[in-house]
Structure 1
Amino acid sequence: METIIVRPIGLIHSCFTEKFGIPRQSGMVKSATATLELLPPFNREEMVRGLDFFSHIWVHFLFHRTVEEGWRPTVRPPWLGGKKRVGIFATRSPHRPNHMGMSAVKLVDIRREKKRYLLELSGVDFLDQTPVLDIKPYVPFSDSIAGATSGYTKIDQPRIKLKFSEQALQFCTSYEQETGRKIQLLIEEMIRQDPRPASQKGKKSRFGMLLWDVNIRWQVMGLQFEVLECRRIQ
């Protein structure tokens, strides 16, 4: 068997409009949200009937922005500080032979908007416009394995001190009132995860990232992080 043709069943509309800053795993940033739009001919009521009984779902998707970059037999995972190489199948890197990913996310709501069926999700790690290949319910008694080990991965939460400039605070308040999007909480959760690549730590002090249509500028001084400015992009 040389090739298999798959067809996307949905498309992700995410708060993450660029790769920088996306959480390394789903569930790490609870306030990160996305809408999964089912595409024809899969946008039918019977396709999601019964799914609302589940609190979480598995989303299988394509790392569409890395397809043209090809795949790599080994990578340097961030869990190891970006210094040691391990086999691609021992990581969750997007540079895989078939560029497929899977994430367990919270299913907030299922709604119909005219002829569209939309799944509202939270705790996501999807780039905007990500093609979705499949959806399955998350089943705790079988999907959560007691005694499972996590290899070289670890949760090493740095004790980051974070503050917002007056301009950033005022912008977040105004933006939330206008859009209903909780952007300040999202920024806080993301930066407390320290999204900087291992290669840039200690070398660069100022960073920028995009959330929805907002450009955020922030700086690092030791363990003191400060959001300097938030501006809406035109």
Structure 2
Amino acid sequence: MTANSLELNPVATIQSPFKSRFGIPRQSGLVPDAIGWIEPHAPWHRAEAWAGIEQYTHLWLIWQVHDRPHQPVSSVRPPRLGGNARLGVFATRSPARPNPLGLSLVRLLAMEHQAGQVRIRVGGLDLLDGTPIIDIKPHIAFTDCPPNSHSGFAQNEPERLRVDWSMLPHDEALRLNDHQRLVITQTLSLDPRPAFHDDPERVYGCPLFEFDVQFRVENGTLFVLGLNPFP
């Protein structure tokens, strides 16, 4: 480390149902049943590094934006604003940052201990499968949830689409378990399409679990059309 540079090494990797950038929620917690595992790297996989963490309900994950070239910009077009208005990068949570780091708040669901090693089950993910985790910190409610805070253009949760499964062939529907169907519904209700796309005939594919979920959107309803193998 020097005055002008800093080397960071991942402490863990995330296992997530999101297999592609397309469809990943734009914030953590929007898909509460998106559950995965934090897989710590040596030497942080030892139980002593995690002693006491079970006292907390939520964790902050600091992670590396690893799935795209690092191309920082000074302003971006937030999808929440329809892709039309520009804001400074520091007024958004865009991944196109000066340093390729992201921040997510997840629910701590369980700790698994085996042969003196630990892995951590978490929910509310918004991370790509395989994302490197740089650091993990406990959420502290009295300081992390300030009263009378304001969140700019993202003050309220985004509106959701109605998700209709009636067009999915029955034999394909049988390939889903209840949890997968719930996560897919929660994810697709957030409308993963690019902000400027509104063609009711266009079919999109959203990789989730081992499926490429085919869908289209018309008049505020998202129709699930098929489940292709992924990858």
Provide the TM-score with structure 1 as the length reference.
0.91
* Residues 1:123 and 1:89: Cα distance change in structure 2 (over 3 Å): same
1:28-59 per-position Cα deviation (integer Å, ceiling 9, x unaligned): 11111121100001111110000011111111
- Seq. identity, %: 31
| 1:83 lines up with 2:80 in the alignment | no
Q: Which runs of 4+ in 1 moved over 4 A?
A: 166-170
**Which one of the candidate residues 197, 218, 224 is aligned to 1:227?**
224
The equivalent residue for 2:141 is 140
Q: 1:115 offset after TM fit, Å?
A: 6.0
Higher deviation after alignment, 155-164 or 99-108: 155-164
Q: 1:159 offset after TM fit, Å?
A: 5.6
In terms of fraction of residues, the more helix-rich structure is 1
Higher deviation after alignment, 156-165 or 94-103: 156-165
| 1:43 lines up with 2:77 in the alignment | no
Give aligned pairs, total.
229
Letter in 1 for 2:211: V
Task: State the alpha-carbon separation in 2 of the partners of residues 70 and 113 from structure 1.
Answer: 40
* Residues 1:45 and 1:115: Cα distance change in structure 2 (over 3 Å): closer
| 1:186 lines up with 2:186 in the alignment | no
* Residues 1:110 and 1:133: Cα distance change in structure 2 (over 3 Å): same
5+ long unaligned stretches in structure 2: none
| 1:9 lines up with 2:11 in the alignment | yes
Helix, strand or coil at the partner of 2:196 = helix
* Residues 1:175 and 1:116: Cα distance change in structure 2 (over 3 Å): farther
Q: 1:171 offset after TM fit, Å?
A: 3.5
The equivalent residue for 1:92 is 93
Task: State the alpha-carbon separation in 2 of the partners of residues 172 and 35 from structure 1.
Answer: 26
1:80-132 per-position Cα deviation (integer Å, ceiling 9, x unaligned): 11111111111100010111111111011111244642111110100111100
Contact 1:79/1:154 (8 A) holds in 2 = no
Contact 1:58/1:138 (8 A) holds in 2 = yes
Helix, strand or coil at the partner of 1:15 = coil
5+ long unaligned stretches in structure 1: none
Letter in 1 for 2:34: A
Provide the TM-score with structure 2 as the length reference.
0.92
| 1:73 lines up with 2:74 in the alignment | yes
The equivalent residue for 2:214 is 217
Q: 1:202 offset after TM fit, Å?
A: 4.1
The alignment's C-alpha RMSD in Å is 1.9
Contact 1:165/1:229 (8 A) holds in 2 = no
Letter in 2 for 1:31: D
* Residues 1:218 and 1:166: Cα distance change in structure 2 (over 3 Å): closer
Letter in 2 for 1:62: Q
Task: State the alpha-carbon separation in 2 of the partners of residues 17 and 76 from structure 1.
Answer: 24
